[in-house]
A and B are shown apart, each in its own frame.
Chain A
């Protein structure tokens, strides 16, 4: 959307909308309006992971602490759920039975950071990990999905606190968001290196198992945590500032291999973050739009990937997960208020898809498609 168009569409208020949200009463959701999603959640009964379809859990499992990201291994008909740091569990659930098949515990001296991705052929799983026994060095674990997720080893990612990672379209390179934050289980989630963070975006060549490109964050306290990779090789990355707030740093960056990190433009719109915290980052299938959630500022931002600028902003309490649902040409959002909502670029309103009182959706969503 061009800037002019955005401003005109913002003038739509004069038409006096009846509500912020498109009218789709929750009880009229007999037919599916979104693809089933995988997510971790916290409910009054405890922490849970599973698949939410239409208006309820299709299946779910209790887990002992909070989960984080997840992914669907289509070929193996398995769901993988990663523990939130400093958890050591990787849960593997069968999509056919909904049963927990296996809990893979990280190797001794390592813990997961909560994210992972698969190789092109689905044979290998790559996870971001903390090599606790090596003074908190960051690394990428390699697992053989066809051998009961046996750990095949770890690759050095040349940075502390790798967080989200994704496979580049070449199928040979991983893009890794390096948060820079050193933590050790003995001191919980406390940042041990507040003055010497070295966050960045690192690219790892899977064949040589070496870092082939490093892009430093524009500020040493700008922890780069979440990213998504478009099918055209563009990388969008979201930051969380670790210093005095607000930092007034740009929080969302665009990158292409070989180029410098470019801050996404907010034009002159005074998009003011108070808490400088991006949770989920998601690019659509056509590399046209991207969404970032900012739970601490209760904001969802829609970005135009073509001109790398801000297009639209919504207020949404404690918004967390964001995933592109190609079948319905919409982004699905989740929040700590138990809501799943649809964001369709071009629509001025978000649309409520499902609500579960007491369910607090955790930071990330993935799709069962």
Chain B
């Protein structure tokens, strides 16, 4: 802009043109970005990218730990480390699992990371079939194979299944092939996680710019409200996924009521719990909730919480939503033991139902109040198409 003004001066344009050009330059240079742009930029930079980076790092560590373990598969400490690294990667995945837009949705990368629910026990069947077929197990082979043998779900089976996940399976001659698969799947996961992170990074695919610099030249988001709509979807569908798929369906909780019929035992389906083999369902749920809270607040930056408060004069709603996240996390943390263990123990039922009630209340705020406050529709055709 400055050089354009200099050109005007050199070409001897009239003073009026010059004043107009200068004031345009001043306006462009000085006006702060609108609050919505600040919201997108800070949510992208402080929450999304940071979460993708964490997942990329922990997947790398998981791959390293797999390789390290397979050097000396009889060392129990290394197997423990491997378990810890899988858990960290799973927690970091939970922070991005609910993102409803961007590179994660290209050809549904999520499928390569997690295959759940696995109603037909496909993971065990496909992994064992691959182990038995005698052909070399390579990274390329895993990449070209079914998503069922890829990602954290396959690794959970390989590391935590009561039979296939025992350390002894990796020792001796028979263990060589299991180690080949373990390292190939870990490396594949690391590639997927790194690819996702790279596609967001400024010096990579820079999806951050697509998300936060909206406008006519943006190939995806022509204005800020379109992008904010996807933020809203991420929050709503995230809580919906926890409430329905992670609690109601496996634990046979009615979606609306807490007043369960006394006497008859609920028909739980514990093998539909997320991460049932590692009994890590509750931890992943808490990580989901913390991540969604982090997205709402753009970590420490200018998030939806500030945008509601400052730009939309909705401080009360902003506080209620943050309070809702906190209450949900407290209620989930109050569950004693793994969901898999306590699913059928009546004495634990009420604590689970209490958590479910908190989720319902938060979901109502996000689904009913937040769209109106933001001036963004949750869906036109989705609400009542035909």
**What is A's interface to B at a CB cutoff of 8 Å?**
4, 6-27, 42, 68, 84-85, 114, 163, 189, 225, 268-270, 274-275, 277, 279, 295-296, 298, 312-315, 317-320, 335-337, 339, 348-349, 351-352, 355, 357, 360-363
A7 in contact with B144 (CB, 8 Å): yes
Query: Is B64's CB within 8 Å of the partner chain A?
Result: no
A12 in contact with B386 (CB, 8 Å): no
Could you pull out 30 A-B pairs where Cβ atoms are within 8 angstroms? A4-B144, A7-B146, A10-B106, A10-B112, A13-B109, A13-B196, A17-B103, A18-B199, A19-B207, A20-B207, A25-B216, A25-B218, A26-B216, A27-B216, A268-B148, A269-B111, A296-B382, A298-B382, A312-B107, A317-B226, A317-B379, A318-B380, A319-B381, A336-B377, A336-B379, A336-B380, A349-B106, A355-B222, A362-B380, A362-B385
Known contacts A18-B199, A21-B220, A269-B147, then 6 further A-B pairs from the complex at CB < 8 Å, ordered by chain A residue: A20-B220, A68-B386, A268-B146, A268-B148, A317-B226, A318-B381
Which residues of B have CB within 8 Å of A317?
226, 229-230, 233, 379
Query: Is B191's CB within 8 Å of the partner chain A?
Result: yes
Which residues of A have CB within 8 Å of B198?
16
Which residues of B have CB within 8 Å of A12?
106-107
Q: How large is the interface on B (under 10, 10 to 19, 20 to 34, 35 or more residues)?
A: 35 or more
Residue in contact with B111 in the complex, picked from A9, A270, A339, CB distance below 8 Å: A270
User: With the chains together, A11 CA to B233 CA distance in Å?
Assistant: 26
8 Å CB interface, B37-65 against A: none
A357 in contact with B105 (CB, 8 Å): no
Of chain B, the residue at the smallest CB distance from A9 is: B107
User: With the chains together, A318 CA to B223 CA distance in Å?
Assistant: 16
A357 in contact with B223 (CB, 8 Å): yes
User: With the chains together, A363 CA to B386 CA distance in Å?
Assistant: 8
Query: Is B171's CB within 8 Å of the partner chain A?
Result: no
What 1/0 mask marks residues of chain B from 12 to 56 whose CB sits below 8 Å from any chain A CB?
000000000000000000000000000000000000000000000
Given contacts A26-B222, A315-B101, contact A270 B382 (CB under 8 A): no
A23 in contact with B382 (CB, 8 Å): no
Which residues of A have CB within 8 Å of B192?
13-14
B107 in contact with A13 (CB, 8 Å): yes
User: With the chains together, A6 CA to B111 CA distance in Å?
Assistant: 13
Question: Which residue, of B148, B218, B222, has the highest number of chain A Cβ atoms within 10 A?
Answer: B222
Given contacts A274-B240, A277-B385, A362-B381, contact A16 B105 (CB under 8 A): no
Whole-angstrom distance between the Cβ of B201 and the nearest chain A Cβ: 8
Query: Is B108's CB within 8 Å of the partner chain A?
Result: yes
Of chain A, the residue at the smallest CB distance from B110 is: A270
Question: Which residue, of A14, A21, A24, A277, has the highest number of chain B Cβ atoms within 10 A?
Answer: A14
User: With the chains together, A22 CA to B146 CA distance in Å?
Assistant: 27
Question: Which residue, of A9, A17, A363, has the highest number of chain B Cβ atoms within 10 A?
Answer: A17
B205 in contact with A84 (CB, 8 Å): no
A14 in contact with B102 (CB, 8 Å): no
B111 in contact with A337 (CB, 8 Å): no
A84 in contact with B386 (CB, 8 Å): yes
A14 in contact with B381 (CB, 8 Å): no
Of chain A, the residue at the smallest CB distance from B191 is: A14
User: With the chains together, A313 CA to B196 CA distance in Å?
Assistant: 17
Which residues of A have CB within 8 Å of B379?
295-296, 298, 317-318, 336
Whole-angstrom distance between the Cβ of A18 and the nearest chain B Cβ: 5
Residue in contact with B107 in the complex, picked from A10, A275, A318, A355, CB distance below 8 Å: A10
B207 in contact with A18 (CB, 8 Å): yes
Which residues of B have CB within 8 Å of A4?
144
Query: Is B143's CB within 8 Å of the partner chain A?
Result: yes
Which residues of A have CB within 8 Å of B230?
317
B377 in contact with A10 (CB, 8 Å): no
User: With the chains together, A8 CA to B377 CA distance in Å?
Assistant: 36
Residue in contact with A19 in the complex, picked from B108, B205, B382, CB distance below 8 Å: B205
B216 in contact with A17 (CB, 8 Å): no
Which residues of B have CB within 8 Å of A20?
101-103, 105-106, 207, 210, 220
B144 in contact with A19 (CB, 8 Å): no
B143 in contact with A11 (CB, 8 Å): yes
B108 in contact with A274 (CB, 8 Å): no
Whole-angstrom distance between the Cβ of A80 and the nearest chain B Cβ: 17
Of chain A, the residue at the smallest CB distance from B378 is: A318
Of chain A, the residue at the smallest CB distance from B225 is: A357
Given contacts A13-B109, A279-B381, A363-B381, contact A19 B219 (CB under 8 A): yes
Which residues of A have CB within 8 Å of B145?
7
B222 in contact with A298 (CB, 8 Å): no
B216 in contact with A10 (CB, 8 Å): no
User: With the chains together, A12 CA to B196 CA distance in Å?
Assistant: 11
